[in-house]
Structure 1
Amino acid sequence: MNLLIVDDEIYAIQGILDSVNWDRLDFDNIFTANSYSQALNIFQNEKVAILVCDIEMPYGTGLDLVEWVREHYPNTLCIFLTCHDEFQYAKQAISLKCFDYVLKPIPPKKLLEILQRASDEIKNTYRTQEYLEYGKRFIKELSEKKGINEEEKVKDPVNEVEHYIQNHISDNLTVEEIAKMVFLSPDYLTRLFKKQKGQTLIDYITSQRMFLAKELLESNVLTISMISAKVGYGNYSYFTKMFKKYYGKTPRDYQNQYLKGKK
């Protein structure tokens, strides 16, 4: 994880470097720049996780820099460290979704706390991204085990619908939208699906979501709220209600009982 400090006053940067207890932070590299253009050059050559910058600088302000960073590196956390307490600056900082707006001079302990919070947030973001990537791989493996993959060519509309649901289980699936996809009316597709599969299309979607939720709970990698979103339920409470209705236990109780049984 890399940190970039930008200030046109060299002694201000040196003061930060000398006063902060860097051993308590997990930065791989600490880069410094004295201008907008130097900062851009570092961003284009290094991966910067956290930016700390002044506002008033010649040839490009800190506000200009953060606006550019927001456009090109949206995952970078930005912190303003400035002598200016004007409301307009603070308002712009908020609009740019900055992590914090700090007035100089700042006690080293306070700056350390802010950098620690920013570092923790970056770590949580990385961890979440890793979990989501794992979830994607896990779902793909489940699909492949069932013989379903993106390259299959299916002509029967019911098989095509099954294939679509498997690969879009996280989406907001409705009978109307699925029917459009296979060029059938919702009523006809509903009757056809129930005739071939012995259950309604909505019940099939629910069963697939519940099966995947159970598998993900047993893997114990994603949080329950992540699993809720992964199986197509944006409302966590509704997901819990549906899971309990389907399996007789809340997702948390099911997971705890499953993991306890494995010990």
Structure 2
Amino acid sequence: MDSRIEVVVAAIERDFCDCKLNCETLAGLVNLSPSRLHHLFKTETGEAPMTFINCRRMREAEVLLTTTFLSVKEVRYRVGFCNYGHFTHGFKRDHGVTPGKYRAIAGSKVRIVETSPAAPLSIAESDTK
């Protein structure tokens, strides 16, 4: 992978929760124009930079919705969506339900299992039916 894209991916992983993170900011990190970054990023990763960022944000939202008692508004803020409507619409587009409904469904069907302190949390189906 192009070293500039590696820098951008690392910046996204570090700063995805900043709602001001955008292509212009990322392009500045690697001295590219936003359009050149968009083209190079899509060539290297198969996704546009903002699609990549929003997918990362949605993955984090899934974790927070299923492992915390934070309000949906707080989850939205913590994963980097400044606009509540954009978060809710994007979440529903990706998951078929609103964030609140996702939490209710996930809460009734899963239990959280911690595999080890160093390993990420995994979700296992509940034994109760």
Please say whether Structure 1 and Structure 2 have the same fold, judged by a TM-score greater than 0.5. yes
TM-score for the superposition, normalised by structure 2: 0.79
Higher RCO, 1 vs 2 (CA within 8 Å, ≥6 residues apart):
2
What corresponds to 1:184 in structure 2? 32
What corresponds to 1:74 in structure 2? none
2-side partners of 1:176 and 1:182: how far apart?
10
SS class of match (1:213): helix
2-side partners of 1:198 and 1:189: how far apart?
13
Q: What's the CA shift for 1:258?
A: 0.4
Match of 1:207 among 55, 66, 72: 55
What corresponds to 1:239 in structure 2? 87
Give the AA of the match of 2:17.
S
What corresponds to 1:156 in structure 2? 3
Match of 1:169 among 6, 13, 16: 16
Q: What's the CA shift for 1:180?
A: 0.6
Q: What's the CA shift for 1:168?
A: 0.9
Q: What's the CA shift for 1:177?
A: 1.3
Identity of matched residues, %: 31
Give the AA of the match of 2:30.
V
1-side partners of 2:41 and 2:98: how far apart?
30
Q: What's the CA shift for 1:248?
A: 1.1
Q: What's the CA shift for 1:240?
A: 0.8
What corresponds to 1:252 in structure 2? 100
Give the AA of the match of 2:47.
Q
SS class of match (1:243): helix
What corresponds to 2:116 in structure 1? none
Question: RMSD value over aligned CA atoms?
Answer: 1.4
TM-score for the superposition, normalised by structure 1: 0.40
Q: What's the CA shift for 1:170?
A: 1.8
Unaligned runs of 5+ in 2: 111-125
Alignment of structure 1 residues 1-263 onto 2, 5 Å: 156-171=3-18, 172-262=20-110
1-side partners of 2:35 and 2:82: how far apart?
26
2-side partners of 1:158 and 1:218: how far apart?
31
SS class of match (2:24): helix
Q: What's the CA shift for 1:234?
A: 2.0
Give the AA of the match of 2:68.
N
Q: Which whole-Å deviations, capped at 9, do the CAs of 1:177-227 have from their partners, x for residues lacking one?
A: 110111111111111111110111111011111111111111123221111
Q: What's the CA shift for 1:159?
A: 1.1
2-side partners of 1:187 and 1:236: how far apart?
27
2-side partners of 1:173 and 1:181: how far apart?
12
Query: Size of the alignment, in residue pairs?
Result: 109
Q: Which runs of 4+ in 1 moved over 2 A?
A: none
1-side partners of 2:46 and 2:85: how far apart?
29
Higher CA-based Rg: 1
Unaligned runs of 5+ in 1: 1-154
